[in-house]
Amino acid sequence: MKAKPTISKPTMSRPTILITGASTGIGEALVRHLVGKFVNPRFILASRNVGRLRQLANQLSSQLNTKSEVLALECDVSNKKSVERLIEKSYRKFKVIDVFVLNAGVSMWQSFKEIEQIDILETIMKTNYLGVVYPLHFAFKRILRDRSKIIVVSSAQSFIPLPYHSGYVASKYAVNGFLDTLRQEEKGVSITEIMFGWVRGTDLRKNALGKKNLKASKSSKKTSKKNLFAVELTEAIDVITKAFYSKKKVVFSPPIIGIIPIVKVFLPRLLYRIIRKITRGEAKR
């Protein structure tokens, strides 16, 4: 059996890839996956969890050849100064960043009326929205100069309002509008926004802010069935990897999510009934 070809093109023979939220979940899995996909890659790994990040960097360094490099940098994407330091250190080290994977994020599970600490909505907005805005702001002139690729790990909730996710939905709507505006302003910028449904195999749900308070349903046994709007972590990583060379502005994963905007226009009541049912099922997982 022939070996699978690596993802390599002349302009990406030694790519420099920056990934936020790189220490766990999608970010960590993506880094581990990309190690064998490029020739002599250089990684900039950013996360608040600097201990876990350095551990990951050491593991990767032992797998890479001497022409590859891993730069692990502590960064809180919700903090403007922290992100500015990340970008400046990255360009000082590597001069160019070929691909930005803006992945860091935080979720929530709580109805708006049950929120006691309104600060959680500010935390979500700063992490999910400004966590995309800040890196692009501090690097944008160089991104345009170098024709860098921007990949934003987003959510179908950027156009689907889910119960118990008011702050999260608002932050993703903001990201979607922001990226659309950048495309209008700069025709040369390459941005692929990935709209995921629920991604299985991460701690995003476990680490969600707020506390869900949903009544148990008699149909709880049905939650073991596969959710049409969910993907496994390995599937999600494949989707992100393909986006490195994609010219698509938006990618839906799973693909069925792509029909939701149409259903939302013509059959909104049906759509919202389905959304409420699925969300209740997800809350019991």
Q: Which two tokens stand for residue 200?
A: 């299985």
Radius of gyration for the alpha carbons in the chain, expressed in angstroms and rounded: 19
Q: What is the mean pLDDT of residues 186-214?
A: 83
What is the average pLDDT score of the chain?
87
Q: Which two tokens stand for residue 159?
A: 């156009």
Rounded Cα–Cα distance for residues 99 and 47 (Å): 17
Burial of 159 (0-12, 13-18, 19+ CB in 10 A): middle
Least confident stretch, 140-154, 228-242, 260-274? 260-274
Query: What was the pLDDT predicted at 45?
Result: 97
pLDDT digits (tens, 9 = 90+) for 132-152: 999 999 999 999 999 999 999
Query: What was the pLDDT predicted at 219?
Result: 36
Rounded Cα–Cα distance for residues 248 and 261 (Å): 17
Asked if residue 211 has pLDDT above 90, the reply is no
* Higher pLDDT pick, 204 / 34: 34
Please tell me whether the peptide bond between 254 and the residue prior to it is cis, using omega within 30 degrees of 0: yes
Asked if residue 44 has pLDDT above 70, the reply is yes
Query: What was the pLDDT predicted at 213?
Result: 44
Q: Which amino acid is at 222?
A: K
Query: What was the pLDDT predicted at 217?
Result: 35
Is 243:17 a contact under the CB 8 Å cutoff? no
Please provide the distance, in angstroms rounded to a whole number, between the alpha carbons at the two ends of the chain.
39
Torsion of CA 73, 100, 79, 163, to 10 degrees: -120
Burial of 142 (0-12, 13-18, 19+ CB in 10 A): middle
Q: What is the mean pLDDT of residues 199-219?
A: 65
Q: Which two tokens stand for residue 258?
A: 């792509």
Rounded Cα–Cα distance for residues 152 and 19 (Å): 10
Q: What is the mean pLDDT of residues 194-223?
A: 66
Q: Which residues of 68-78 are buried (b: 16+ CB within 10 A; e: fewer)?
A: bbbbbbbbbbb
**Residues whose CB is less than 8 angstroms from the CB of residue 76 and which lie 6 or more positions away in sequence, other chains included:** 48, 82, 83
Name the band, by pLDDT with cuts 50, 70 and 90, for residue 212.
low
H, E, C per residue of 62-125: CCCCCCCEEEEEECCCCCHHHHHHHHHHHHHHHCCCCEEEECCCCCECCCHHHCCCCHHHHHHH
CA 233, 234, 235, 241 dihedral sign is: positive
Query: What was the pLDDT predicted at 215?
Result: 42
Asked if residue 260 has pLDDT above 90, the reply is no
pLDDT digits (tens, 9 = 90+) for 59-76: 988 888 767 899 999 999
The pTM of the full predicted model, rounded to 2 decimals, is: 0.87
Q: Which two tokens stand for residue 71?
A: 């730069």
